[in-house]
Amino acid sequence: MSFGYVNEGSAVMRGPMVTQLLDQFLSLTNWGPLDYLILDMPPGTGDIQLTLSQRLNITAAVIVTTPQELSFVDVERGVEMFDTVNVPCIAVVENMAYFEKEKSANVEVDYETLRDKFLQVLKERDGISDEAAADVVNSLVDTVQENVQNTGKGEMEEIRIFGQGHKRRLSEQWGIEHTFSVPLVSTIAKNGDSGTPFILDNPSSPQADTYKELAKTVARETSKVLFSKTSRPNLSYLSEAHIIQVDGMDQGTLAPAELRRGCRCAACVEELTGKQILNPESIPESIRPMSMSPTGNYAVSVDWSDGHKSLYPYRQIRSMLASKNTNDEVLDGNMEKEKETVPL
């Protein structure tokens, strides 16, 4: 799906308009039965990437980069963003990694000097006529010339036009096991312009094998993610007890006021300094959630009774539960010590 199918003019749009357009693409397009829905995102960590991460339960991401240092910096930020929104990166593809060319012999031979040396050696032997010696020398020189010309023929060498790249560095730094290098091949560009997939025109080429292996890896790793994914925390408000119950692998309870005071939105916390703007004392204990709904794979959205809307990543909720459980344990321990020291 592309905006080019909808409007022939150029798409000059601000962020909010692009976000609305994405919503239409995802919800109004008749996709039909799908095995996979592949989203080709632009570089960066802007509105498009965040909107898609919030609107969709994205299973996994494949990082595509080029060998330049600037590309590595950009991709590194993208990996961090996906990690933040709980989308695993399952593969790294280094595009235009190298250019292949046939190896040349690069052997220079002075055949006239070689011919004279052969003749000199043969003439020093008794019983060999000049004509026979000339025939043997010509045969030897022809054999040497043919071998030199065939040296390296059919063998390819990799020329890394844009440098050695950072595929290994990305893999080691972020623990991404599967990495692929796609060479710079003119036929791939031609097939892209013509609209015919390269792999259909060149099914037996080494580049096609790389694409096939990449596709197998994506299918295998997305299946692993889907079957091994831990359940997300499920939040529900118990009005009678006035608590928020957290179910699933992360069990526990939170007071509504405690969760509201933990909001990290731009209205509650300065984005650059991290300094809290919200005054915790301004939040009454009686505040309650009006609605709670999952956002993507990584967060829950809460509409509060004071009109505020908050977004809580699951990792923040887990951290708040862990902190609360630690405090409860410390409190219980202090109470036990007090019991032990009370005189009879």
CATH code: domain of residue 274: 3.30.2020.30
Give the residue-averaged pLDDT of 94-122: 67
Domain span holding position 59: 35-100+158-228
Residue 25 lies in a domain: no
Residue 4 lies in a domain: no
Among 228, 256, 272, give the residue marking a domain's end: 228
Residue 331 has pLDDT above 90, yes or no: no
Better-scored residue on pLDDT, 285 or 104: 285
pLDDT of residue 90: 87
The phi-psi region of residue 185 (left if phi > 0; otherwise alpha if psi is between -120 and 50; otherwise beta) is: beta
Q: Are residues 220 and 241 in the same domain?
A: no
Q: Are residues 182 and 208 in the same domain?
A: yes
Q: What's the CATH number where 71 sits?
A: 3.40.50.300
Name the strand (E) or helix (H) holding 142.
helix 130-150
Among 189, 209, 228, give the residue marking a domain's end: 228
Q: Are residues 260 and 320 in the same domain?
A: yes
| Token output for 70 | 């600037």
Q: Are residues 110 and 96 in the same domain?
A: no
Distance CA 93, CA 178 (A): 9
Please report which confidence band the pLDDT of residue 164 belongs to, taking 50, 70 and 90 as the band edges: confident
Q: Are residues 58 and 194 in the same domain?
A: yes
Residue 28 lies in a domain: no
Residue 19 lies in a domain: no
Spatial neighbors of 292 by CB under 8 A, at least 6 apart, are 235, 236, 237, 300, 301, 302, 303
pTM score: 0.61
Residue pLDDT, tens place only, 190-203: 888 888 888 898 88
Q: Are residues 251 and 108 in the same domain?
A: no
C-alpha triplet 271, 318, 54: angle, nearest 5°: 55
Residue pLDDT, tens place only, 203-236: 888 888 999 999 999 999 998 888 766 667 788 9
Q: Are residues 46 and 184 in the same domain?
A: yes
Q: Are residues 208 and 116 in the same domain?
A: no
Among 228, 254, 287, give the residue marking a domain's end: 228
| Residue of 211, 182, 210, 316 lying closest to 258 (CA atoms) | 316
Q: Are residues 162 and 62 in the same domain?
A: yes
Residue 275 lies in a domain: yes
Please report which confidence band the pLDDT of residue 77 belongs to, taking 50, 70 and 90 as the band edges: confident
Residue 280 lies in a domain: yes
Q: Are residues 44 and 96 in the same domain?
A: yes
Q: Are residues 197 and 131 in the same domain?
A: no
Rg of the chain on CA atoms, in Å = 34
Q: Are residues 312 and 330 in the same domain?
A: yes
Residue 51 has pLDDT above 90, yes or no: no
| Token output for 304 | 């509060």
**Looking at the 3D structure of the chain, how many domains does it have?**
3
